[in-house]
Structure 1
Amino acid sequence: MTQQLILDLLAAPPPSLDNFIVGENGAALDALRNFAPGRAIYLWGPSGAGRSHLLKALAAGPSAHYFNAQSPSGAMRALASSEALPLALAAVDDVHLLDEPAQAELFALYNRWRETAASDKAFALLVAGDRAPLAMPLREDLRTRLGWDLVFRLEQLSDDDRANALRTQAGERGLQLSPEVIGWILTHYARDMGQLSALVDALDRYSLEKHRAITLPLLKDLLATSQPQS
């Protein structure tokens, strides 16, 4: 197995609602599965809770647009003022990092959302940040808009949730991960479930290629082999 193939296997799969590990976030996921034009959802929670995963999953749909603090200046305002661009959903991530011009653009996007909510030009607006609306370090008129419709706090997955997800994914492939392997992964590897899922896939293929059972030495061998060469 070439090093590049291993690196490709370790790459996290594209975010989707189906590969989001729910944990205690069932209400938020249900709302997103039933997200309709004219509705807005604000998601907040700590880093690693899955905010960006969910926004990118929804923004992968047709006529959907994803923005964050690195988006080109004016992009949100152009979308808010355009009559020509088809718009089903706008997703704005990490709003706590937006500078003043970008906050003004999001303000304009919220106003467009509200103006069109009951019309045939309605679109869904999905926004995320690291804290509750009124605690956000944003201009006051934008802070209040974050709470205009549905608001959900995302809870981080517990180690038990991650361990159960790893066991389930491994079981679906006919694999058994020992408590030693799972414990090492949860302690030393990424906490993001997309990366953890990719690691299980890579372990499956690597164990077949090496004709070895999945053990802690095999896991460490895989990760050492996947390190980029200097």
Structure 2
Amino acid sequence: MPPLPLAPPVRQLVLDLGTPPPATFDNFVTGGNLEPVARLRGLFDGLSATAEPPADRTFYLWGENGSGRSHLLYALCHAAPADRARHAGPHSPLAAFEFEPEIVLYSVDDVNGLSSAQQIALFNLFNEVRAHARHALVVAGNAAPLALTVRDDLRTRLGWGLVYQIAPLDDAGKMLALKNAARARGIALADDVPPYLLTHFKRDMPSLMALFDALDRFSLEQKRAVTLPLLRAMLASLDGELQDG
């Protein structure tokens, strides 16, 4: 297995360590987001041909980075029947925003980063979804609709449907998320590791998960359990690499 790459200072560690487990509703720590999660979980029930079409088919989720809004979009696509959902964002081609009858769910992330052409395409997609009773659109961004730096007509459309602020996890929720991530990887995580991560490093979930993924790889390299001594050994190793570099 290749060695850990050189990294920025440990407390700002961000590493790309391969593909994490897929984002699903089951591995999303709900925290204070019970209502939006319940609404999204039940969305596909109303889109089936045998059910009454749902009254609410357009959603806008907003929150700070690491709040879980992107996780929920991926969870929706993961829960969808094969080839019936499409995910798009700032790096997607314009074709990803085109309406196709066989796609019942469209999810669009980071609307605040879309280009002008993508915003026009999303505006048109919104109108198409509203015109078809068994299709849904879920969009996510970093601010409430009125505060978004997007086209006025698109901003207005995003406010038409259900709007939810996705609340970030508290410390207990973050520790639960780390424990769940360990369980998903088959890792026996020592109880003192999550509290130590929370008290000594950046506390947002992307940074915590990046550091946890680094610890997971280091434990495999060292063939040792994930404990606080192992974490300290990894940090000492990274500090040594930074000094040598």
Tell me how far 1:219 sits from its aligned partner. 1.5
Q: Judge conservation of contact 1:69–1:98 (CA < 8 Å) in 2.
A: yes
1:78-123 CA-to-partner distances (Å, cap 9, x unmatched) read x22x45xx11210011111112111110111011011112xxxx21
Correspondence for 1:49 = 67
For structure 1, list consecutive stretches of 5 or more residues without a partner in the other structure: none
Confirm whether residue 109 of structure 1 aligns to residue 117 of structure 2: no
Alpha-carbon distance in structure 1 between the residues aligned to 2:20 and 2:197: 15
Inter-CA distance 30–204: structure 2 relative to 1 (3 Å threshold): farther
Inter-CA distance 112–47: structure 2 relative to 1 (3 Å threshold): same
SS in 2 for 1:90: strand
Q: Judge conservation of contact 2:33–2:167 (CA < 8 Å) in 1.
A: yes
Please point out which of 90, 111, 125 is paired with 1:69.
Answer: 90
1:180-211 CA-to-partner distances (Å, cap 9, x unmatched) read x323322326623755775686587678x33x
When structure 1 is superposed on structure 2, of 189-198 and 43-52 the one drifting more is: 189-198
Correspondence for 1:191 = 205
Q: Judge conservation of contact 2:77–2:87 (CA < 8 Å) in 1.
A: yes
Alpha-carbon distance in structure 2 between the residues aligned to 1:4 and 1:103: 42
Alpha-carbon distance in structure 2 between the residues aligned to 1:8 and 1:131: 27
Q: Judge conservation of contact 1:170–1:200 (CA < 8 Å) in 2.
A: no
Alpha-carbon distance in structure 2 between the residues aligned to 1:199 and 1:41: 35
Amino acid at match of 1:155: A
Alpha-carbon distance in structure 2 between the residues aligned to 1:197 and 1:28: 27
Q: Judge conservation of contact 1:10–1:195 (CA < 8 Å) in 2.
A: no
SS in 1 for 2:150: coil
TM-score, length-normalised on structure 1? 0.76
Correspondence for 1:158 = 170
Tell me how far 1:11 sits from its aligned partner. 4.8
Q: Judge conservation of contact 1:12–1:197 (CA < 8 Å) in 2.
A: no
Alpha-carbon distance in structure 2 between the residues aligned to 1:168 and 1:72: 34
Alpha-carbon distance in structure 2 between the residues aligned to 1:195 and 1:33: 27
Correspondence for 1:14 = 22
Inter-CA distance 74–185: structure 2 relative to 1 (3 Å threshold): same
1:19-59 CA-to-partner distances (Å, cap 9, x unmatched) read 11111111111111111435111100111101111112212
Correspondence for 2:160 = 148
Amino acid at match of 1:71: S
1:71-110 aligned at under 5 Å gives the runs 71-76=92-97, 79-80=98-99, 82-83=100-101, 86-110=102-126
Alpha-carbon distance in structure 2 between the residues aligned to 1:32 and 1:191: 22
SS in 2 for 1:87: coil
* Aligned-CA RMSD value: 3.3
Correspondence for 2:231 = 219
Correspondence for 2:138 = 126
Amino acid at match of 1:176: A
TM-score, length-normalised on structure 2? 0.72
Tell me how far 1:127 sits from its aligned partner. 0.5
For structure 2, list consecutive stretches of 5 or more residues without a partner in the other structure: 5-14, 48-53
Alpha-carbon distance in structure 2 between the residues aligned to 1:200 and 1:173: 11
Alpha-carbon distance in structure 1 between the residues aligned to 2:17 and 2:115: 36
